[in-house]
Amino acid sequence: MDIAATRLQIPSKQASSGLSALVGIFVIAVLIGLLYAQILPDLASEWWTQSEASYGLLIPPMAFYIAYMRRKTTFACPVQPDLWGLGLTSLGCLVLLSGELASEFYLARVSIVILLAGLIWTFWGRARLRTLGFPLVLLATMVPLPALVYNALAAPLQLFASTIATDLAQALGVSIYRDGNIIHLAGTSLGVAEACSGLHSLSALIIGSLLLGFLENASMIGRILLLILAIPLAIAVNVLRVTGTAILADYKPELAEGFYHSFSGWLVFVLGFGFLWLLGKLIFRLTRLSAGRAQ
């Protein structure tokens, strides 16, 4: 009888601890929801209404799905609460407060990722935080660049794209000249707007490089190299699009407008991801070979 009673008590204790853990998670989730009650809806609205930020709609589902796929790895690590995590949690709160006081949306939005990392470290320990490192990094990319940074990068990239596109078109025999970010052809003129600066492709290719490194289970060196090379690749792809548009517009101005312009953007975008995939395959293979020789 005593043995049977002991066996009955063990599941009840496990159920009680599981229930209290769920209650704790629920309470923390509610508090975070209250803390970001205005910030997260504003971020979601920006994703929905601004094309350059629309990629953010895909990031949270992908991050949570990857965390779900790695749940066995995460739960295989023992729970080791660590008070050092309170430092990272405090940093997240400080970043949130700084963003609110300075009206800097980027800081206020990205603080939720720091806060989540700090809470995971505090309640679950560093080992489990390490297994969730990639989903958290991916989640940080959902926040668009600050307006100050975006505007500072857009203008130089517009001028760079228009300059290189003009030089390439001239080398191919097209009668063309440039005035700032305006490209003048024989029958029409093209303006290289902010949307053609390459920042849209840059955000997408950076996220693509992160996902490709994760899916290929690449080394940290390989992932960093691909992430760095995604930047000039995005710029090159954008220059290719502007150059192609100028050449087509010289042949037939209608090809630089409406459906054709949008289609060329999507086509070059797909080519960019194709180049990124090939580049990743090459980099990951070379880094694996070098690591194998080092061993």
Write out pLDDT tens, residues 137-147: 999 999 988 87
Which pLDDT value is given to residue 108? 92
- 8, part of any domain: no
pLDDT digits (tens, 9 = 90+) for 229-275: 998 888 888 888 888 777 777 777 666 666 566 676 677 778 888 99
**Co-location of 276 and 168 in the same domain:** yes
- Same-domain status, 131 and 198: no
Residue 283 and residue 152 in one domain: yes
Structure-token pair, residue 224: 């960093």
Q: Residue 3 falls within a domain, yes or no? A: no
Domain boundary among 93, 113, 143: 143
Do residues 139 and 233 both lie within one domain? no
User: Of 143, 167, 188, at which residue does a domain stop?
Assistant: 143
pLDDT of residue 12: 53
Give the model's confidence band at 50: pLDDT under 50 very low, under 70 low, under 90 confident, else very high: confident
Residues 123 and 214 grouped into a single domain: no
pLDDT at 8 over 90: no
Instruction: Give the model's confidence band at 53: pLDDT under 50 very low, under 70 low, under 90 confident, else very high.
Output: confident
- Same structural domain for residues 172 and 104? no
pLDDT tens figures, 68-122: 999 999 999 998 988 999 999 999 999 999 998 888 889 999 999 999 999 999 9
- Asked if the structure places residue 198 within a domain, the reply is yes
Radius of gyration of the chain (CA): 25
Q: Are residues 81 and 183 in the same domain?
A: no
Identify the pLDDT of residue 259: 59
Q: Is residue 46 part of a domain?
A: no
Residue 166 lies in a domain: yes
Domain enclosing residue 78, as ranges: 55-143
Same domain for 135 and 247? Answer: no
Burial class (CB in 10 A: 0-12, 13-18, 19+), 137: middle
**Residue 211 has what pLDDT?**
92
Give 294's pLDDT tier (boundaries 50, 70, 90).
low
Higher per-residue pLDDT: 18 or 284: 284
**What's the CA gap between 126 and 124, in Å, rounded?**
7
32-to-42, 144, 277 alpha-carbon distances in Å: 15, 21, 37
Structure confidence at residue 200 (pLDDT): 75
116 and 74, same domain (yes or no): yes
SS3 for 191?
strand
By the 8 A CB rule, do 175 and 243 touch?
no
Are residues 286 and 224 part of one domain?
Answer: yes
- Cα separation, 239 vs 93, in Å, equals 41
> In the predicted model, is pLDDT for residue 10 greater than 50?
no
Do 78 and 160 lie in a common domain? Answer: no
What pLDDT shows up at residue 155? 76
- Which of 82, 116, 143 is a domain's end point? 143
Location of structure tokens 């969730």: 132
Give a yes or no: residue 132 inside a domain: yes
Do the domain assignments include residue 20? no
Least-confidence region, from 3-12, 83-92, 166-175:
3-12
Residues 279 and 198 in one domain: yes
Digit-coded pLDDT (tens) for 186-225: 777 776 665 566 677 788 889 999 999 998 888 889 899 9
How do 189-191 and 176-179 pair as beta strands? unpaired
| pTM assigned to the model | 0.81
**Is 128 contained in some domain?**
yes
Confidence grade of residue 60 (pLDDT, cut at 50, 70, 90): very high
Looking at residue 117, its pLDDT comes to: 95
How many domains is the chain partitioned into structurally?
Answer: 2
Residues in Cβ contact with 114 at an 8 Å cutoff, skipping those fewer than 6 apart = 88, 91, 92, 95
Would the pLDDT of 2 be above 80? no
